[in-house]
Every structure is written in structure tokens, then in C-alpha cells.
């Protein structure tokens, strides 16, 4: 279970990431929840980057997506949070259709 | 001349992820995730084998033998260490303090993510895969491979390539 102090730091790191996002692709939300990885059972974070419904991830978009993942990771590490962020990308409509609750 | 395996896998993953434009089938998305992971796995194994054994043609058989020794878990352990940017003291005591570039950290982050998703895609029927997420994973893998030449000669990259095969034996001594 994530200690309350860590929860505060994680929330602060995510908030800071939201404020520094690149203009493209358009992100409408960043959601996260505690996660335990499947290989070693290590405490981690699952971070969902919710993209605008109009975003199409064309070939070549990977650079911007890596930038976003780096931004989140750096923000967490600057808060002293060592948890690995498994950063995923989705549209709200996809999360809802799949019943993924974040 | 045939394309390298990792390129074939990336093309295959892209094709699978783009099938069924209106309603993506889980089978295609799951195979796309697994194939994308193996693209990056084989790329890193190839780079590491070339670095450790040599890249000339007459060493190809030796590289193929070395490639059999890589273990998924140990590669992920190495990637997690390099992702943090802080390497363990037993390593820095010998190799010195080495700066890990943001591009190498991108590689490690994507590798750990892809490796986490691969068994879920292959075996966990409770997991649902989304086209945007799968397409994002493929794009991220394509990008770190595309950027590789820019970091290939960095000291941290060289240590990472060594660590992919040896990490669990060198990090704790």
C-alpha cells in the first residue's frame, strides 16, 4: 500500500507533468493508480495518458509519446518516488468501451 | 537481402494493430503487442551481441550462440537500473560514475513496459488491449530504435549492452 506521504508526492508529480505537456498530441487527462508488476510483484504505478478523441497516432508519433513518458518519470523521480511508471495511452471512449476503470 | 528480424516484427506489429478499422479484434492487438516486444528484444540482443562478440560477418555464428544466453528477466533488471539513472555502487566503483542519457532511459522505459505487457497479451484473458495503447507502444519502440545510432557509442550505452547479459552477476558483488 502506498503511504499517504508518497500519495501526496505522486499527485504533485502528476500535477506538474500536466502543466508541462507538449502541445501535441493533445492530452485531456492523466490518471494513475497503484500497480503491481506481473513479473516480480514489485509495487509500481500504472499511468494512463488520456488523449483527445481527435488524436490519430501516426507513424512518427513515438517521439512525442516517449517525451510524455519521460516527463512523468522525471517528475516522479524528482519527488523521490522510485516506483516504475507503466505509462499507457488511450482515449476516454476506448477506456469506457473496454470497462477500464482508472 | 532480407530485413533484420526486428524490422520485420515491427512491420508485422503495425499491420496487426491497424486491422479491423472499426472494431479492433483482441487477437490482433494481442499479437501486435507480443510482436512489438520481440522486435525490441531482438534488436537489443543483436546490438549487445555485436558489442560483446564483434560485428564482422565471420563472427555471426558466435553472435548467434551468444544470443541464446540472454534472459528476459535479467534484461529488464538491467533496464530498470539504468532507467533510474543511478547505477549500483559495485558497478560505479569499477566503471566510475556514468551519466545515463535521456535517450537511453527512453529505451529502458519502453523495454520494461513492453516486457510487462507481453505475457499479459499472450496469456492473461482478463486484460483488454486498446488500439491507441498498442499503436503507442509500437511507435515508441520504433522511435527508440530510430534514435539508437545517436547513443550507440556512449559509455552508458556500452555498459547497458554488457549489462543486458550480465547484470544480475555484476550489480551485487
Give the mean model confidence (pLDDT) for residues A21-37: 95
CA distance between the termini of chain B: 44
Q: Quick one: CATH architecture of A4-93?
A: 2-Layer Sandwich (3.30)
Residues of A near B (CB-CB distance < 8 A)? Answer: 37-40, 51, 55, 57, 59-63, 65-66, 69-70, 73, 77, 82, 84, 86-91, 94-95, 98-100
Q: What's the pTM value of the predicted model, to 2 decimals?
A: 0.96
Per-residue pLDDT tens digits for B118-129: 999 999 999 999
For the stretch B80-97, what's the b/e string if a residue is b when 16 or more beta carbons lie within 10 angstroms of its beta carbon?
bbbbebebeeebeeeeee
Per-residue pLDDT tens digits for A40-98: 899 999 999 999 999 998 888 999 999 999 999 999 999 999 999 999 999 999 999 99
* SS (HEC) of A17-86: HHHCCCCCCCEEEEEEEEEECCCCCCEEEEEEEEECCCCCCCCCCHHHHHHHHHHHHHHHHHCCCCCEEE
Task: Share the mean pLDDT of chain B.
Answer: 96
pLDDT of residue A75: 97
Q: Which SS3 state, helix, strand or coil, does residue A101 take?
A: coil
Chain B positions touching A69 (Cβ under 8 A) are 106, 109-110, 140
Closest CA to B31 of B138, B139, B147, B148: B138
pLDDT of residue A2: 63
pLDDT of residue B173: 61
Pairing of strands A84-91, A43-51: parallel
Per-residue pLDDT tens digits for B141-161: 999 999 999 999 999 999 999
- Residue B57 pLDDT exceeds 70: yes
**Would you list the domain boundaries of chain A?**
4-93
State the residue range of the domain holding B145: 5-170
pLDDT of residue A5: 75
Give the number of domains in chain B. Answer: 1
What interface predicted TM-score (ipTM) does this complex get?
0.94
- Residue A1 pLDDT exceeds 60: no
Which residue, among A48, A80, A84, A99, would best test binding to B if mutated, counting the most B CBs under 10 Å from its CB?
A84
Amino acid at each position: 500500500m502506498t503511504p499517504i506521504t508518497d500519495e501526496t508526492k505522486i499527485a504533485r508529480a502528476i500535477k506538474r507533468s500536466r502543466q508541462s505537456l507538449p502541445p501535441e498530441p493533445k492530452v485531456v487527462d492523466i490518471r494513475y493508480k497503484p500497480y503491481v508488476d506481473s513479473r516480480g510483484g514489485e509495487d509500481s504505478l500504472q499511468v494512463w495518458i488520456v488523449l483527445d478523441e481527435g488524436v490519430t497516432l501516426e507513424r512518427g508519433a513515438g517521439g512525442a509519446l516517449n517525451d510524455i513518458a519521460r516527463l512523468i518519470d522525471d517528475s516522479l523521480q524528482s519527488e523521490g518516488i522510485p516506483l516504475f511508471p507503466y505509462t499507457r495511452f488511450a482515449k476516454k471512449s476506448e477506456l469506457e468501451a473496454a470497462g477500464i476503470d482508472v | 537481402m532480407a530485413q533484420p528480424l526486428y524490422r520485420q516484427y515491427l512491420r508485422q506489429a503495425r499491420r496487426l494493430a491497424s486491422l479491423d478499422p472499426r472494431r479492433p479484434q483482441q487477437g490482433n492487438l494481442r499479437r501486435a503487442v507480443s510482436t512489438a516486444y520481440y522486435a525490441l528484444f531482438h534488436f537489443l540482443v543483436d546490438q549487445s551481441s555485436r558489442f560483446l562478440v564483434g560485428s564482422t560477418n565471420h563472427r555471426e555464428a558466435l553472435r548467434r550462440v551468444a544470443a541464446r544466453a540472454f534472459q528476459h528477466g535479467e534484461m529488464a533488471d538491467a533496464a530498470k537500473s539504468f532507467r533510474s539513472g543511478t547505477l549500483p555502487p559495485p558497478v560505479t566503483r569499477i566503471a566510475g560514475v556514468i551519466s545515463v542519457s535521456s535517450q537511453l532511459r527512453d529505451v529502458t522505459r519502453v523495454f520494461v513496459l513492453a516486457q510487462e505487457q507481453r505475457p499479459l497479451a499472450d496469456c492473461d484473458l482478463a486484460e483488454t488491449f486498446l488500439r491507441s495503447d498498442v499503436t503507442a507502444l509500437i511507435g515508441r519502440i520504433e522511435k527508440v530504435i530510430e534514435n539508437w545510432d545517436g547513443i550507440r557509442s556512449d559509455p552508458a550505452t556500452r555498459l547497458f549492452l554488457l549489462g543486458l547479459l550480465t547484470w544480475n552477476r555484476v550489480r551485487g558483488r
